[in-house]
Structure 1
Amino acid sequence: MKRRDYQPIYDNTFRRRHRYRRWFVVLILVLLVVGSGWGWYRWDAHQRAQVASYPVRGVTVNQDSGYLDFQQLAKSETFVYLQATSGATYTDDDFSDNYSRSQGADIQVGVAHTFSFTTSARRQFNHFKSTVKRNSGTLPIMVAVSYYGKYNSNNTEMATQGQKLKTLVRLLSSHYHQGVVIFASKSVLTQFVKPVLPNQDYWTAGGKLSGHSQQVKLIEYDANGQVTQNGQNLPVAKSVFNGTRRDWHAFTK
């Protein structure tokens, strides 16, 4: 009699269970992807609706942003800030070229400096002045402040650093007569900036688009934003002005 090949019942059962488990895992993964995509879509739609409620919008650019067409940028943005200097020695490679090309566009231009805890206010001011010269734009000068290294809220010497920042703001304001706005995160503004510059105009970094006081003039809502020009995505930081167009005109006088 010919031998018949019998498969154990438990082997077939195991295979079916394994197949069902695999399809169940695939289904869960599909649902997670779809759910994440839908969640992101709703968040993005909400973010775009919020941004649209602010009539004055703009970007901050530096040498990493690449070659920008400022005429094209002016079609969607009201203002642009150009990174110029940092500390007492660093200069953005594209500042001079960006500033020259921005002058032919219908867009308001501001200039930015990054504050250094390790160099004096006078040296930073002299470096900014020698780099920017009279090309300081028409907007208040932006001074960016952020903690780094040992310079944070736990450092007992930060009060001295605060006086340095205050001196730098005074030097810039008296020389350029166009005001200064301090760019920083909410925590840095609260802990470090406000104690020495309580009446200064502020620009929040990475903050939410709502719930800010009138002292917060600008809000950065996307530090890793992009603008598309000639088929290329160029990295920029995106911000809005916290007020009406009438408020904007008062801010830029």
Structure 2
Amino acid sequence: MPVWLRNVLALFLILAFSASFYYFFIRPYAYRWKPCGGQKEYGVCMPCCYDVHGIDVSHYQGRIDWEELFAQNQETDFPIEFIFMKATEGATLGDDTFQKNFALAHKYGFIRGAYHFFSPKTDALKQAEFFIKTVTLRKGDLPPVLDVELTGRKSKSELQKSLKIWLDRVEAHYKVKPILYTSHKFKTKYLNDPSFDVYPYWIAHYYVDSVKYAGKWYFWQHTDVGSVKGIKEEVDLNVFNGTLEDLEALTIK
């Protein structure tokens, strides 16, 4: 092979690799490195203009120093008002930090919520019963949350049918419509049926300046790399689309 051709091929491979690396590893997260046009807190640029902020946690965050977390609220312009905690996954997997965190969130005056990570390959009714058995919600708590991120290779109609079984059973038990958590893309692709628009929508949409979803939404999980005092690991940050009074109105009566 001529030297010039070998050099051209080498240059082509370098350019192709660089373009692929940028497309898959840099471009989706470019928002992290953009200049912060607003106020920065919790290690990230906070979205404008929301008054009510919160986090969500699971066993991935490890042991939480609730006293330090509470004290932080006295020092910031973006106090944490609400906390969602993972309670269950599938029909048998409980989060081993849930009960302690759920109790301590109430003790320190946070508005608390519990969520279930849906497993498409597991019987939906069994999942609902497992959540109900695990989670006791009281006055002032947020409605139960269904976290939907996977299809489990189910068809769109099969997935929707399974989700409705969980949602209907849980609503019948707690007497309140559950919150539906999923990403912007997942919602528009798999849950665009009007029957799912009746649930309070919690949207996961990272590295954007604002929510582009055209429908009604209540919560926005805007980053997964927040740094919060009292929590050693990175944590998801959220905002509520309304006032604190609106959030309290959403809680169980």
Same fold (TM over 0.5): yes
CA distance in 1, matches of 2:129, 2:55: 26
Counterpart contact for 1:71–1:104, Cα < 8 Å: no
CA distance in 1, matches of 2:95, 2:239: 23
User: 1:214–1:249: structure 2 CA closer, same or farther, 3 Å change rule?
Assistant: farther
Counterpart contact for 1:110–1:137, Cα < 8 Å: no
- The answer as to 2:45 corresponding to 1:42 is no
Residue by residue, what CA displacement relative to the aligned partner does 1:101-150 show, whole Å, maximum 9, x if unpaired? 22211110000101111112210011112222457970021111112553
* Residue 26 of structure 1: aligned partner: none
- The answer as to 2:143 corresponding to 1:140 is yes
**Structure 1, unaligned stretches of length 5 or more?**
1-38, 152-156
The residue identity in structure 2 corresponding to 1:91 is G
- The answer as to 2:152 corresponding to 1:159 is no
Q: How far has the Cα of 1:158 moved from its partner?
A: 2.3
* Residue 107 of structure 1: aligned partner: 110
CA distance in 1, matches of 2:61, 2:104: 14
Residue by residue, what CA displacement relative to the aligned partner does 1:150-189 show, whole Å, maximum 9, x if unpaired? 34xxxxx220220110111111111012331111111211
User: 1:116–1:41: structure 2 CA closer, same or farther, 3 Å change rule?
Assistant: closer
CA RMSD of aligned residues (A): 2.6
Counterpart contact for 2:143–2:177, Cα < 8 Å: yes
Q: How far has the Cα of 1:243 moved from its partner?
A: 1.9
User: 1:245–1:136: structure 2 CA closer, same or farther, 3 Å change rule?
Assistant: closer
Counterpart contact for 1:71–1:106, Cα < 8 Å: no
Give the 3-state SS of the residue equivalent to 2:181 in structure 1: strand
Deviating more after overlay: 75-84 vs 129-138:
129-138
- The answer as to 2:244 corresponding to 1:236 is no
* Residue 221 of structure 2: aligned partner: 220
* Residue 60 of structure 2: aligned partner: 64
- The answer as to 2:199 corresponding to 1:203 is no
Give the 3-state SS of the residue equivalent to 1:219 in structure 2: strand
* Residue 99 of structure 2: aligned partner: 96
Give the 3-state SS of the residue equivalent to 2:229 in structure 1: strand
* Residue 3 of structure 1: aligned partner: none
* Residue 18 of structure 1: aligned partner: none
User: 1:43–1:112: structure 2 CA closer, same or farther, 3 Å change rule?
Assistant: same
Specify which structure has the bigger relative contact order, considering alpha-carbon pairs within 8 angstroms and separated by 6 or more residues.
2
**Structure 2, unaligned stretches of length 5 or more?**
1-31, 74-78
Q: Looking at CA atoms only, which structure, 1 or 2, has the larger radius of gyration?
A: 1
Give the 3-state SS of the residue equivalent to 1:64 in structure 2: helix
Residue by residue, what CA displacement relative to the aligned partner does 1:9-33 show, whole Å, maximum 9, x if unpaired? xxxxxxxxxxxxxxxxxxxxxxxxx
Q: How far has the Cα of 1:192 moved from its partner?
A: 1.7
Identity %: 25
Counterpart contact for 1:111–1:137, Cα < 8 Å: no
CA distance in 2, matches of 1:226, 1:100: 23
The residue identity in structure 2 corresponding to 1:244 is T
How many aligned residue pairs are there? 208
- The answer as to 2:144 corresponding to 1:182 is no
User: 1:225–1:192: structure 2 CA closer, same or farther, 3 Å change rule?
Assistant: same
